[in-house]
Amino acid sequence: MKNCVHPINCIIPPHMAERILEKGSPVQKKKAEEYIRIAGQIRGQRQMLAELTRKVRAAEGERNRKVYDARNGSSLPGNLVRSEGDAPTGDAAVDEAYDGSGATYDLYSEIFSRNSIDNKGMDLLSTVHFMEGYDNAFWNGEQMVYGDGDEDMPEQERIYNRFTKAIDIIGHELTHGVTQHEANLVYRNQPGALNESFSDVFGSLVKQRVKNHTADQADWLIGEGIFTSNVNADGIRSMKAPGTAYDDPLLGRDPQPGHMNDYNDTTSDNGGVHINSGIPNKAFYNVAVELGGYAWEKAGRIWYKTLCDELDGSSDFQAAANSTHKVAGDLYGNNSTEQRAVYNGWKTVGIIPGSDNHGGCRGSIRRILHSLFDGSNS
């Protein structure tokens, strides 16, 4: 106790000091910082200081990125190789994961005033070099995970490059986290395809913002650069022209529809979540191009507000159309240019906002069949 410089410092419990750091006045914050520093010295708990400092930074809206290396194993998160503020490592996958998660954080923070994935300053955790020959990237509910493609195959037979190579994939995976904390769309059938589509939309916006592209300058490709030159592919998906991203003897043909008439009723891939996402993807593209300018400014804002405030876990395409139309009216006025663009964007893919027709007769039949045999609402 002899090290105690102020009687109050000695009796403040850590959680209270933390609270003062987050919410207190500048003078109170300074005193709380002093307490934590001294308490840390006394108890030898440097980690406590670091953790509390991190929480304060998160509350104040600062990025905190951590990139781990799985060293081709499957244990997560792996070994920490780059933290916030560290210099580039020279490992392309590590540095791409770091930069890409930063660009995604910036889009959400600077454009949509969102404080990280959970809107509470969550750390951005990425693991690269996951397993061997792992041609995939995914969000596991807590972090992003990236494989190196099919690097275990002879070079002339490789199809995929590392999955951090496309910045929109990083934005896509982080957006799964945002969706989890907002609408929490069920990862199956139409809600699942919407979940995928929101990830493609904001992943593409991350890329467009980094490249400073307007809607008409953007390529609207998802996963550009992921495929090697051994296959005939521009990317994994095209938001501009679903179904045209690849056509190759090894890969087959891009199966994405761009209209409800071509909706794919399938049970595989959780009810075609990566296939039917082409329909809402195309709707967003239509809206963004009709409005012109930077897609994140108006179309992105409408979609973001819809994801956060209007949709729930069971929302389907019709609900997304209705909600984006409503939000466009709320933000820009009824019958505004923006609301008309949203209406036209969905109509072009076969969904009329406000009509509640769920994609016409085919949609109605599909819903009845699903409710009979699948137990879902989509």
Contact footprint for other proteins (CB under 8 A): 74, 131-133, 135-141, 150, 152-153, 157, 159, 163, 169, 172-173, 176, 186-188, 192, 195-196, 199, 223, 226, 236, 250-252, 255, 268-270, 273-275
Given the residues 33, 173, 290, 338, the one annotated as active site? 173
Extended beta strands in the chain, E state: 65-69, 79-83, 124-128, 137-139, 144-146, 221-222, 237-238, 247-248, 252-253
Q: 41 or 136, CB closer to other proteins?
A: 136
Closest-CA residue to 24 (of 11, 36, 38, 6)? 36
Q: For strands 144-146 and 237-238, give the pairing.
A: unpaired
CB 378 within 8 A of CB 190: yes
Helix (H, G, I), strand (E, B) or coil at 321: helix
Confirm whether 173 is a catalytic residue: yes
Given the residues 274, 310, 325, 358, the one annotated as active site? 274
Query: Count of CB atoms within 10 A of residue 361's CB?
Result: 9
Give least dist CB 376 to other proteins, A: 12
Give least dist CB 230 to other proteins, A: 10
Crossing angle of the two packed helices 317-332 and 337-348, in degrees rounded to 10: 170
Q: 40 or 133, CB closer to other proteins?
A: 133
Give least dist CB 178 to other proteins, A: 11
Closest-CA residue to 287 (of 274, 304, 265)? 304
Q: 46 or 253, CB closer to other proteins?
A: 253
Confirm whether 157 is a catalytic residue: no
CA distances in angstroms from 254 to 135, 240, 249, listed in the order given: 17, 13, 11
Q: 82 or 188, CB closer to other proteins?
A: 188
Give least dist CB 66 to other proteins, A: 20
Give least dist CB 84 to other proteins, A: 25
Which residues, including other chains, have CB under 8 Å from residue 163's CB and lie 6 or more apart? 135, 136, 137, 146, 147, 148, 149, 169, 226
**Alpha-carbon gap, residue 276 to 317, rounded angstroms:** 10
Give least dist CB 146 to other proteins, A: 10
**Beta partners for residue 127, in sequence order:** 68, 145
**Beta partners for residue 28, in sequence order:** none
Tokens, residue 360: 């016409």
**Alpha-carbon gap, residue 210 to 223, rounded angstroms:** 15
Q: 131 or 308, CB closer to other proteins?
A: 131
Give least dist CB 222 to other proteins, A: 9
Residue type, 37: R
Tokens, residue 94: 């590590």
Q: 50 or 250, CB closer to other proteins?
A: 250
Closest-CA residue to 284 (of 261, 263, 304)? 304
> Which residues have a catalytic role annotated?
173, 274
